[in-house]
Amino acid sequence: MKLLVKLGGTLLDEEASRQRLSREIAAVAAMPGILVTVVHGGGKQMTRYLAERGVESRFAGGLRVTTPEVVDAVLKVFAGSVNHQLVASLVAAGSDAVGLSGIDACLTEAEQWSEELGAVGRPVRCNARLLDVLTGAGYLPVVACVAGDRQGRIYNVNADQMAAACAAGFQADRLIFLTDVVGVLDADKRILPELDRAASEGLIAAGVATGGMQAKLEAAHRALDGGVPRVCIAPGAEPGILARLLSGENTGTSLVR
């Protein structure tokens, strides 16, 4: 079984949360027959890093406007401190974790989203052979949400989109978004245990799913379109969440083709 786990930056910001999730991921990766890849964000850490340096974070359509100055911060924060702190936690938990970004071996190729957004990239393909080589040899790839292209350009990529692209390229059997929310909610704040595309689009059109949740739903359906059979949006703050999901517990929201 191939499993791709996407971790939101909020869950990684506190050391205790990062260490707990690292132990849970390492335990799943140690199970026979399960090959795991992790993709992570770090938007909260990025905003704080820029603010400390007097750089205002500007957004358009929910995406961070990425100037050359912000690209430098993207490399230092996403592919640097956030990635390596997570790798170190996974190693401490007993996993042979390897830190990567989408730039490595052109793992994730992207194209510019728009002139307005600067160096924000839209993933166009994932060349997952590197993930197959590493997981097949017993390593745990940990991928930061930075991508590139064949001309050497560097792009800041939304972590949910990065996860969807990597899950499709990796031919994952499941994509699990571990988030700081309990799942997808309806207009009455009730958890929706399962969604299809029509229901997801209805939530977005009605303004119920906005911002980060809209981005997750759109990324989830891109993963489903790319061949991933099942996607789950689940509460990463709940202890044992990965093992519970893999055991069949109906937690969070599942999206299916």
How much is the pLDDT for 257?
Answer: 80
| Cα end-to-end span (Å), the chain | 18
CB 100 within 8 A of CB 131: no
pLDDT digits (tens, 9 = 90+) for 113-144: 999 999 999 999 999 999 999 999 999 999 99
HSE-up of residue 108 (Cα within 13 Å, Cβ side)? 28
Catalytic residue check, 61: no
9: annotated active-site residue? yes
The predicted model scores a pTM of: 0.95
In 3-state terms, what secondary structure has residue 148? strand
**Closest by Cα among 215, 194, 214 to 206:** 214
User: What is the CB-side half-sphere exposure of residue 249 using CA atoms within 13 A?
Assistant: 13
Q: Which of 39, 37, 43, 59 is nearest to 10 (CA)?
A: 43
Query: What three-state secondary structure class fits 59?
Result: strand
- Three-state SS at 81: helix
Instruction: Give domain limits for the chain.
Output: 12-171, 173-257
pLDDT attached to residue 247: 93
**Among this protein's residues, is 216 annotated catalytic?**
yes
* Active-site annotation holder among 2, 6, 183, 212: 6
Measured between alpha carbons, how far is 109 from 100 in angstroms, rounded to an integer?
14
Catalytic residue among 9, 42, 118, 226: 9
**Residue 52: what pLDDT?**
96
CA-wise closest residue to 147 among 97, 104, 85, 114: 104
Task: Tell me the CATH number for domain 173-257.
Answer: 3.40.1160.10
Is 160 one of the catalytic residues? yes
Catalytic annotation, pick one of 42, 118, 183, 216: 216
Residue tagged active-site, from 43, 118, 212, 252: 43
Q: Is residue 63 within 8 Å of 166, Cβ to Cβ?
A: no
Q: Are 82 and 8 in contact (CB under 8 A)?
A: no
Predicted local confidence at residue 9, as pLDDT: 80
- CA–CA separation, 145 vs 132, rounded Å? 19
Provide the CATH number for the domain formed by 12-171 in this structure: 3.40.1160.10
- C-beta separation of 153 from 74 below 8 A: no
Q: What is the pLDDT at residue 8?
A: 87
Q: Is 43 a catalytic residue?
A: yes
Shared fold status for 12-171 and 173-257: yes
Q: How many CA atoms lie within 13 A of 74 on its CB side?
A: 27
Instruction: Fill in the DSSP letter of residue 72.
Output: H
| DSSP-derived secondary structure letter, 105 | G
Mean pLDDT for each consecutive 10-residue tract of the chain (257 residues)? Answer: 94 94 98 97 94 92 90 96 98 98 97 96 96 98 97 96 97 96 92 92 90 89 95 95 93 91
